[in-house]
Structure 1
Amino acid sequence: MNSMQTTALNSSAKHPFDKYELDENGYPLQEVVDIHRLDLRFQETRIERTKALARLTQSITEIGLRRPVQVADTGDTLILIDGYQRIRAFNALNRDCIPCDFCKAPLGAVLGEWFDQQHSRKLEAIEEAWLIDQLLHSGQNRRQIASDLGRSKSWISHRLALLDGLDTPYQDALRKGVLSSWAASRIFVPFARANRKDADQLLQSLLQSSFSTRELELWYSHYQKSHGEQRTHLLSHPRLFLDTLKLQQERREVKEPDPEQRWMRKMDGILRQLSGLEGQIEKVLNPLSPLDCDDAHFSEMEAKSREGERMLAAMACTIQAYLEL
């Protein structure tokens, strides 16, 4: 089996497909293909990443494509193996052709080699499950898929188990990137089994307003403890509930300190000031010769020091008395 090579496009080109660099024989250094000729059968096995797509599109606009897409040339068709995000970026830029690395081999062999190497972003577990499911629907069996991907049959089974309980609406939310794999398996699968109607209602809210995985976990924990009107409110206004909960938490964190805390903070400030004065006392006294000494001035300094000492001692005695009660 021929290995798939990755040749980066000249990154200095503003629009790399307007003019191709040629080798000494006059052939293009980089093979390109019309996007409409590509078989995008594995497109539904990849999660959409809106922010990453925006960054990639901007990068292609500025410096060109740094890594060509990988295509399996089976003789009958050109199947896109890796580069679905790059295809989306090129479509957004209205570009019809894209650089490709072709591998002329059976689809299973090309998939197996790419699956082991995965030069770009590694697939998430749920994406691997979608890939296996797609191959099963194309007529392959589990033994053949396991052999092509270099994995065991039990690994194949574990990946497919991720799809158990995830009906089409939930899988679509995963593909769109509005639902994480963790939230799908740990929250929505058990939620739908217990109460499909409520789970579907939460999913609709999720499609309208984004929730972090932590927010979903927090919401679900409160839902499980709720009943009656409280549960109805949670389902009707999940974002409002989470925002209110966050505001209450912030208020607790910035609440007014109690008298003991205020006293301790003030005392800390006083002690820091005393520490600073202690470090300065020698600098104040050392430069003075006996002839420069002002007895009245030194007497006042000593009196203030003793007054401070008396006050600290009195507070220490008061605190000690309370401790001995």
Structure 2
Amino acid sequence: MDLEFHQLDLRYEELRGRSPARERRLLSSLAEVGQQAPIVVVSPVSSGRHVVIDGYKRVRLLRRLGQDTVRATAWDLGEAEALLLERMMRAGDADNALEQGWFLRELRERFGLSGEELSKRFGRTPSWVSRRLSLVAELPESVHAHVRAGAIGAHAAMKYLVPLARANRADGERLADAVAPLGLTTRQMAIVHAAWLGANAEGRALIVKDPGLVVRAHEEARRAKARPATPAEQMLSDLGALGGIAARVHQRTRRGEVRGLLAPEREEIRHAFSQARREVERLIKRLGKELDDARPEHANRDPATA
């Protein structure tokens, strides 16, 4: 049957998160070939409208395409039974933990199902039901709204915003409101979360003001680290290491460590020191000459200039 949109009751729309990528693909399909699968509804309630059980994305996108009606099929079941059956039939498109929590909370509050009844209906333990309900309770409602809208991924919310909200609910809301417009990936959310944990009050204020800056700075540092070092950078690194090693050995001699060595050990060190000194003297002679030749007054002798 075909139903007009005003005949639909969308009371369970908030039980599913949105995926912008999936909705783009479905929108393209609907525009190209039209609606292929009907939505699922149950018998009209007292208002005379049909309660939608499955097909919320199709309803939203058909409206965007300017359609007046949606094709539907009606199940001869009560609302609770229809919702449970629809979830069982969607086993291949499993809900995330937050969606499971939303669904359990709805069944408990709307239909009065106890934790024990819910565990039996889902074939799960009572502790599984309790954990999902606790997860929903721990996140501020504003964060739930961002997840439902697809602005924050459910996995990122569970991994980073739930622990933050447990420690400080206001901080969880502030950070969620700041990152939601950016559509960060879970990896990028991890970068912002790590920066938040390591920052003081002033640093956190800056993160909230522009969390994208944290992500960009991290990406730039990663690219710089992956970029091959220039000859000058390599030489500076080697000379820095050489100076550091020389300073460390000098400190050891000042502490008198050489005097405490056995004769064979002193002989080994004397031999190694002679070799090191020869290499350093060769470096001093060669590098000094190269640097002198590369001075501005000797530009005609500079290999790079040539």
Same fold (TM > 0.5): yes
Asked if 1:96 is matched to 2:72, the reply is no
Q: Rate the CA distance shift 1:75–1:251 in 2: closer, same or farther, 3 A.
A: closer
CA–CA distance in structure 2, aligned partners of residues 198 and 226 of structure 1: 13
Q: Rate the CA distance shift 1:255–1:133 in 2: closer, same or farther, 3 A.
A: same
Q: Rate the CA distance shift 1:144–1:197 in 2: closer, same or farther, 3 A.
A: closer
Higher relative contact order (CA 8 A, sep 6+): 1
Counterpart selection for 1:127 from 91, 99, 104? 99
CA–CA distance in structure 1, aligned partners of residues 18 and 81 of structure 2: 26
Asked if 1:186 is matched to 2:159, the reply is yes
Q: Rate the CA distance shift 1:81–1:233 in 2: closer, same or farther, 3 A.
A: same
Question: Is the 8 Å Cα contact of residues 74 and 107 (structure 1) preserved in structure 2?
Answer: no
CA–CA distance in structure 2, aligned partners of residues 258 and 231 of structure 1: 38
Residue identity opposite 1:233 in structure 2 = L
The size of the alignment, in residue pairs, is 234
Asked if 1:117 is matched to 2:64, the reply is no
CA–CA distance in structure 1, aligned partners of residues 125 and 200 of structure 2: 45
CA–CA distance in structure 1, aligned partners of residues 142 and 104 of structure 2: 19
Question: Is the 8 Å Cα contact of residues 119 and 129 (structure 2) preserved in structure 1?
Answer: yes
Partner of residue 28, structure 2: 58
Q: Rate the CA distance shift 1:118–1:228 in 2: closer, same or farther, 3 A.
A: closer
Following TM superposition, by how much is the alpha carbon of 1:190 offset from its aligned partner in structure 2, in angstroms?
A: 1.9
Identity %: 24
CA–CA distance in structure 2, aligned partners of residues 231 and 167 of structure 1: 19
Asked if 1:42 is matched to 2:12, the reply is yes
CA–CA distance in structure 2, aligned partners of residues 40 and 116 of structure 1: 20
Question: Is the 8 Å Cα contact of residues 111 and 148 (structure 1) preserved in structure 2?
Answer: no
Partner of residue 300, structure 2: none
Residue identity opposite 1:117 in structure 2 = M
Structure (1/2) with the larger helix percentage? 2
Counterpart selection for 1:105 from 68, 71, 77? 77
Could you give the per-residue CA deviations for residues 291-311 of structure 1, whole angstroms, max 9, x where no partner exists? xxxxxxxxxxxxxxxxxxxxx
Counterpart selection for 1:160 from 133, 137, 144? 133
Q: Rate the CA distance shift 1:146–1:94 in 2: closer, same or farther, 3 A.
A: farther
Asked if 1:240 is matched to 2:213, the reply is yes
- 1:1-325 alignment, distance < 5 Å: 31-73=1-43, 78-118=50-90, 121-142=93-114, 143-227=116-200, 229-256=202-229
Q: Rate the CA distance shift 1:256–1:202 in 2: closer, same or farther, 3 A.
A: same
Q: Rate the CA distance shift 1:68–1:150 in 2: closer, same or farther, 3 A.
A: farther
Following TM superposition, by how much is the alpha carbon of 1:148 offset from its aligned partner in structure 2, in angstroms?
A: 4.5
Question: Which moves more between the two structures, 220-229 or 181-190?
Answer: 220-229
Q: Where in structure 1 are there 5+ consecutive unaligned residues?
A: 1-30, 263-321
Secondary structure at the counterpart of residue 163 of structure 1: helix
Residue identity opposite 2:151 in structure 1 = V
Following TM superposition, by how much is the alpha carbon of 1:245 offset from its aligned partner in structure 2, in angstroms?
A: 2.0
In angstroms, what is the RMSD of aligned CA positions?
2.8
Residue identity opposite 1:95 in structure 2 = Q
Question: Is the 8 Å Cα contact of residues 198 and 235 (structure 1) preserved in structure 2?
Answer: no
Question: Is the 8 Å Cα contact of residues 196 and 207 (structure 2) preserved in structure 1?
Answer: yes
TM-score where L is the length of structure 2 = 0.67
Partner of residue 295, structure 1: none
Could you give the per-residue CA deviations for residues 229-248 of structure 1, whole angstroms, max 9, x where no partner exists? 44443343321122122112
Following TM superposition, by how much is the alpha carbon of 1:208 offset from its aligned partner in structure 2, in angstroms?
A: 3.0
Residue identity opposite 2:226 in structure 1 = E
Partner of residue 15, structure 1: none
TM-score where L is the length of structure 1 = 0.63
